[in-house]
A and B are shown apart, each in its own frame.
Chain A
Amino acid sequence: AQSVAQPEDQVNVAEGNPLTVKCTYSVSGNPYLFWYVQYPNRGLQFLLKYITGDNLVKGSYGFEAEFNKSQTSFHLKKPSALVSDSALYFCAVSPGGTTSGTYKYIFGTGTRLKVLA
């Protein structure tokens, strides 16, 4: 069965320190990979995506993610965390990876990031 795993329910990091939020996936083919962020009482917002090319992709708010095909991972990173980064982060995978048609994304269960001042 196709799946996305976010192994940590919560990640705590001190402000100014680097952060990593982990995501691994199990899907067939060459999937498209996404990260979304959800602030309190808001909808999910797109952060970044990997389609093809460079394994390191950069997104909004200084976030980046590294695609590792051999480890089937797509970890979210930021060199220096801010208190305002505290939110719920979701990894998502579009199996099959085509640019047209309809695809039901597989979402992870979410990781709550807490950045401590």
Chain B
Amino acid sequence: DAGVIQSPRHEVTEMGQEVTLRCKPISGHNSLFWYRQTMMRGLELLIYFNNNVPIDDSGMPEDRFSAKMPNASFSTLKIQPSEPRDSAVYFCASTLGGGYGYTFGSGTRLTVV
């Protein structure tokens, strides 16, 4: 099993540009989570899906952020327009359920200049 796959690994973009981060969860996992990690704020949950349906997006910082999960094997996190304060490492994680633990991807390091 290849694990949770995120792309790209690194993204450098200019302020105002649209950024799309991608995630492929582990096959069979029914829940998917998007996290953001920064030195200042630590690990923050942005949104999570269960069976492709968004359940809780209360962590999405602003309307500039949106996430979709069109099918069980793919999710995107989009930032439009991007701002320098969005610079962070974005992680995707998936799980079978509460007691099984999360499997995290390697993350996307986003730098907005």
Do B42 and A109 touch across chains, with their CB atoms under 8 A apart? Answer: yes
Do A104 and B48 touch across chains, with their CB atoms under 8 A apart? Answer: yes
Counting chain B residues whose Cβ lies within 8 A of the other chain, the interface size class is: 20 to 34
Counting chain A residues whose Cβ lies within 8 A of the other chain, the interface size class is: 20 to 34
Partner of B45, one of A43, A100, A104, A109: A104
Does A101 lie at the interface of the complex (its beta carbon under 8 Å from any beta carbon of B)?
yes
List, in ascending order, chain B residues with CB within 8 A of A41's CB: 109
Do A34 and B101 touch across chains, with their CB atoms under 8 A apart? Answer: yes
Partner of A46, one of B33, B102, B109: B102
Do A102 and B102 touch across chains, with their CB atoms under 8 A apart? Answer: no
Do A94 and B50 touch across chains, with their CB atoms under 8 A apart? Answer: no
Do A102 and B98 touch across chains, with their CB atoms under 8 A apart? Answer: yes
Contacts across chains A and B counted by CB atoms under 8 Å: 65
B-contacting residues, A42-97, CB 8 Å: 42-46, 49, 51, 90, 92, 94, 96-97
Do A43 and B106 touch across chains, with their CB atoms under 8 A apart? Answer: yes
Do B98 and A94 touch across chains, with their CB atoms under 8 A apart? Answer: yes
A-contacting residues, B78-107, CB 8 Å: 91, 93, 97-107
List A residues at the B interface (Cβ < 8 Å): 32, 34, 36, 41-46, 49, 51, 90, 92, 94, 96-105, 107, 109-110
